[in-house]
Chain A
């Protein structure tokens, strides 16, 4: 064991502070003598990681820190926007994590002392750790797009964190008259869920086609290329003549927004919208910056085998917040990284050497409710980065029959059920 041991006094302080703070299954701490791990962020990455550390080495005491008692999942939230799914289907709690004796603290992490190895929570609790895992997700860069403030997001929702914003965009679409114009703006890379803006555009186009056929949709893009591009564009051509994609090189980059005038501004034109969905620039959530784990890009550089921060020892970063090379910022990725990170953390806490991992990502998008497409990849560490395994991965075939698209839509739903069952069930 090379991990720093807890003094009896520290241990008692933690236990008492924890017990007075929130629901805490004390036995997990009281019986464990194999080190302490704190996981910050209870999404697809963090909740998975916390559970798997416990399963891999039950001697390790694991505390999951999360601000909200309910997690609201983003995948499939585009169906909520068009009224084909309810928010309830996206909501998950942390009750089942007790089965793995993960101690759950519902309070935001407000400070991290990387040298002293402790996390401080909003409720005053201080949690010492041997290893810390950050899986905090993203924050909007409120300084990243002139005119787009938190107040502006109440008029022009981003809906890029599922919840109230998702419902707001839905209400706006429902209230829009037939013949209206919906404008979506997609950011430059990197951002959460690379195919997400295009799935959203597809499904909103589907909604307009079926409910408000005189309306049109303009997708302003800060990029010339995007995930599953050919598949999306083929489907748009066939299904959605009222969807117009304006690429970077044709003037699609939104440089500011004027909320009062409900207008999105590019270098070449002003787009007046009846409903505006601004998907703004993003960065790793603030706690990663507080920890000193984010670099100037706003994201967190990591070791490709262990997900340990390249900036802060004993801190690991997984999921959307990390710079994970070829792996996209998806829920599947966060879950896969979490399990690799859990194995590495358990080994490191016990003084061992982690193995080189392999990882998979599979990500489905819906072009219409019964029309699914996918991208998959297999990854491994190489030259200090996470790289594609050559010859593997790729997207769904271009000229597939409708039955294949329908099957992939079914698999998409199956995936959501399976992964949320593993993470929260």
Chain B
């Protein structure tokens, strides 16, 4: 019983380490780190551009598709969205979703 509990605890610790690592800049998928040039990581930034950290990945994917198709009006995002495949967008969205807000 104790052994199981310890094993579970150890597994949990490893899972957390893994999660933390997957959310760090070392694991950012291609393109992700460029976004923070405009989308602020810090709340101190004075901008109307929305933050991406902690956002629901599905929402980011939907928005990027709509920017790409022109369904969602934008100034620059239509031009940027066209540079990324659906898989690339999904990876970027998942990574931002895992960032602490």
| Interface of A toward B, CB cutoff 8 Å | 52, 55-57, 332, 335-336, 339-340, 342-343, 346, 355-360, 362, 374, 376-380, 389, 391-394, 396, 404, 407-408, 410-411, 413-415, 417-419, 421-422, 425
Chain B contacts for A359, CB-based, 8 A: 31, 34
Residues from chain B with Cβ under 8 Å of A421 in the complex: 40-42, 44-45
Complex Cα gap A407–B39 (Å): 16
Q: Is the interface of B mostly helix, strand, loop or mixed?
A: loop
**Size band of the interface chain B makes with A:** 20 to 34
Pairs A–B under 8 Å by Cβ, sample size 5: A392-B84, A411-B48, A411-B76, A413-B47, A419-B38
Q: Which of B34, B35, B36, B84 has the most CB of A within 10 A?
A: B34
Contact status of A55 and B24, CB under 8 A, knowing A396-B75, A404-B75: yes
In the complex, are the beta carbons of B41 and A356 less than 8 A apart? no
For the complex, is B54 an interface residue (Cβ under 8 Å from A)?
A: no
Task: Find chain A residues with CB under 8 A from B76 CB.
Answer: 362, 374, 376, 411
Selected from B25, B30, B80, the residue in CB contact (under 8 A) with A55 is: B25
Given A391-B82, A392-B79, A422-B42, A360 and B47 touching (CB < 8 A)? no
A339 touches B49 (CB 8 A): no
- Docked complex Cα distance between A374 and B76 (Å): 8
Min CB gap A347→B, angstroms: 9
Having A360-B83, A413-B46, one finds 19 other A-B pairs with CB under 8 Å, namely A339-B34, A346-B26, A357-B31, A362-B76, A374-B75, A377-B79, A380-B30, A391-B82, A391-B83, A392-B80, A392-B84, A411-B49, A411-B75, A414-B49, A415-B37, A417-B40, A418-B36, A419-B38, A421-B42
Q: Which of B7-45 contact A (CB under 8 A)?
A: 24-26, 28, 30-31, 33-42, 44-45
Bound complex: CA of A131 vs CA of B46, how far in Å? Answer: 35
A393-B79, A404-B75 as given contacts; A56 in contact with B24, CB under 8 Å: yes
List, in ascending order, chain A residues with CB within 8 A of B34's CB. 336, 339, 358-360
State whether B37 touches A378 (Cβ < 8 A). Answer: no
Chain B 68-101, CB-CB to A under 8 Å as 1, else 0, gives 0000000110011111100010000000000000
Query: In the complex, what residue of chain A is closest to B80 when comparing beta carbons?
Result: A376
Return A174 CB to nearest CB of chain B, in Å: 28
In the complex, how many angstroms separate the beta carbon of B72 from the nearest chain A beta carbon?
Answer: 14
